[in-house]
Amino acid sequence: MTGQAAITGIGQTEFTKASGRTVLSQCVEASTKAIRDAGLEPADIDGIITYTFDTNDEIAVQRSLRIPELRWTSRTPFGGELSYATFQLAAAAVASGAANHVLIYRAFNERSEARFGQPNANAQAADLEQREFYRGFGLNTPAQVYGLWYRPYLDRYGVTSADLGAYVVQARDYAATNPLAWFHNRPLTLEEHQASRWIVEPVLRKLDCCMETDGGIAFIVSFLSHARASTRPVVRILAAEQLWLHGSEVMYNYYQPDLTAQASTERLAANLWRASGLSPAEIDVMTIYENFSPIVPMSLEAYGFCKPGEGRELINSGGIGRGGVIPVNTNGGLLGEAYIHGLNNVTEAVRQLRGSAANQVAGARTALVTGRHCAMLLARE
């Protein structure tokens, strides 16, 4: 990755709990808005990428958008685990000349139709065809699967439910002043968090889990020289990386000797800093793919904003809040704004760098967008 690509367009639908419309129509709405936002015409788009579990057929999208010639398509595996790797591939596509302008999309009715938070209909113990070493024993939802993985970390560093609640309260504080957020005008107290029922005891309360959302988001990634012709501030992809260390598993990551270590994410972070030439002290705003609250202190540590075990102190001391050393998920994140499979944390990063975020970090020029296995560094030129 050599920084030859930029995010030139963003688009989205309203975030709802019951859209009452097809997933494809939301995908097309978000994509149309992203193309317009980039100052482009449908005929300029020649690449499409999404990630697995998306039901929107690329050719159906092409048809509705009236893209005359599609030259490049791809999908990254593992759902949200590689949501941001779509930008890595899109950036490589435009840098190589395989495409000029790539459309990235994700749309779903994830609350009103197929809910990620519910046990899969095929997940009962009598049906052990898939994931049979987990599902029959009660690891049927992401909360259960990740909850067991988080626990050794929480135990080792003495992270309490109230510590996690401090993040959730912070996320809802940001969401309360973000008109796009589902929890707009609805801040939360720590007492309310602590009264929230257990989903996975003793790790995750209901309010520690990301919400389920209907909606769609789209982006345009363009070759840098095309982006510079735009009238908008250029949001350059300085680096985009994914990383899987041998021995790690997708979701069911229980087999490494020390489950409190985050070797894959730490290596990913090291690669990102090296590729971008930046360091944590130079980052103005960060987003974390917080499908569940424990990943926030874990990520602050793995990406080098504090030492192992100190993430909870950074959160409790206001370090990720307004005016903090590293504002995190300033849109309210996946717990406070919406859960479009991670992508709404990218729209937030772009808005921060354009200077148009609801909770604007003054003068933000660099943004770190993170997941456990993929991440990217964005910078305003």
Partner 1 sequence: MPAKRDQDFFWEAVDRSELTAQQCSDCEKRRHPPAPACPHCGSQHFTISRLSGSGTIHSWIISCHPTLPDPNPKTVILVDLAEGLRFISNLIDAENIRIGAPVTVEFGEVNGRRLPLFRTVKNP
- Check residue 155 for interaction with partner 1 (CB under 8 A): yes
- Decide whether 152 or 304 has the Cβ nearer to partner 1: 152
The binder of partner 1 chosen from 50, 76, 140, 264 (CB under 8 A): 140
What residues contact residue 160 under an 8 Å CB cut-off, 6+ apart?
none
Residues 6+ apart with CB under 8 A from 24: 55, 56, 57, 60, 61, 64, 107
Q: Is 339 a catalytic residue?
A: yes
* Both tokens assigned to 78: 């593992």
CA distances, 245 to each of 122, 228, 248, 301, 373 (Å): 30, 36, 6, 18, 9
Candidates 38-46, 57-65, 134-142, 354-362; binding stretch for partner 1 (CB under 8 A): 134-142
Q: Does residue 81 contact residue 146 with C-beta atoms inside 8 Å?
A: no
Interacting residue with partner 1 among 126, 179, 279, 281 (CB under 8 A): 126
| Interactions with partner 1, residue window 255-274 (CB under 8 A) | 255, 259
In the list 24, 128, 176, 261, the residue contacting partner 1 (rule: CB under 8 A) is 128
Residue 136's Cβ-side half-sphere holds a number of Cα atoms within 13 Å equal to 9
Rounded to a whole number of angstroms, the minimum distance from the CB of residue 198 to partner 1 is 7
Cβ(84)–Cβ(90) below 8 Å: no
Rg, Å, the chain Cα set:
20
Q: Of 246, 323, 362, 363, which lies in the binding site for partner 1, with binding defined by CB under 8 A?
A: 246
Q: Is 289 a catalytic residue?
A: yes
Which CB, 87 or 292, lies closer to partner 1? 292
Two structure tokens written together for 240: 């985009």
275, 260 contact by CB (below 8 A):
no
- From residue 27, alpha-carbon distances to 33, 47, 183, 217 in Å are 10, 15, 23, 7
As a whole number of angstroms, the distance between CA 332 and CA 187 comes to 10
Which residues from 198-237 bind partner 1, rule CB under 8 A?
Answer: 198-203
Closer residue to partner 1 in complex, CB, 53/254: 254
Q: Is the peptide bond before 327 cis (omega within 30 degrees of 0)?
A: no
Nearer to partner 1, 204 or 377 (CB): 204
Least Å distance between CB 84 and partner 1? 26
Residue in 13, 56, 88, 144 binding partner 1, rule: CB under 8 A: 144
Q: Tell me, by CB under 8 A, how many residues bind partner 1.
A: 35
Binding of residue 113 to partner 1 (CB under 8 A): no
Should residue 158 be labelled a site residue for partner 1 when binding is judged by CB under 8 A? no
Only segment of 69-77, 116-124, 274-282, 364-372 that touches partner 1 (CB under 8 A): 116-124
* Given 68, 77, 97, 247, the residue binding partner 1 (CB under 8 A): 247
Of 43, 125, 190, 245, the residue at the interface with partner 1 (CB under 8 A) is 125
Which of 42, 136, 187, 308 binds partner 1 (CB under 8 A)? It is: 136
In sequence order, the 6+-apart residues with CB closer than 8 A to the CB of 216 are 12, 13, 23, 26, 27, 29, 30, 31, 105, 106, 107, 108, 340
Annotated active-site residue in 150, 157, 289, 303: 289
Positions in 361-380 near partner 1 (CB under 8 A): none
Instruction: Please state the separation of Cα 318 from the chain's center in Å.
Output: 22
Distance in angstroms (rounded) separating the CA atoms of residues 39 and 21: 27
Buried b (16+ CB within 10 A) or exposed e, 87-106: bbbbbbbbbeebbbbbbbbb
Q: Which residues bind partner 1 (CB under 8 A)?
A: 117-119, 124-126, 128, 132-134, 136-141, 143-144, 147-148, 151-152, 155, 198-203, 246-247, 252, 254-255, 259
User: What are the catalytic residues?
Assistant: 289, 339
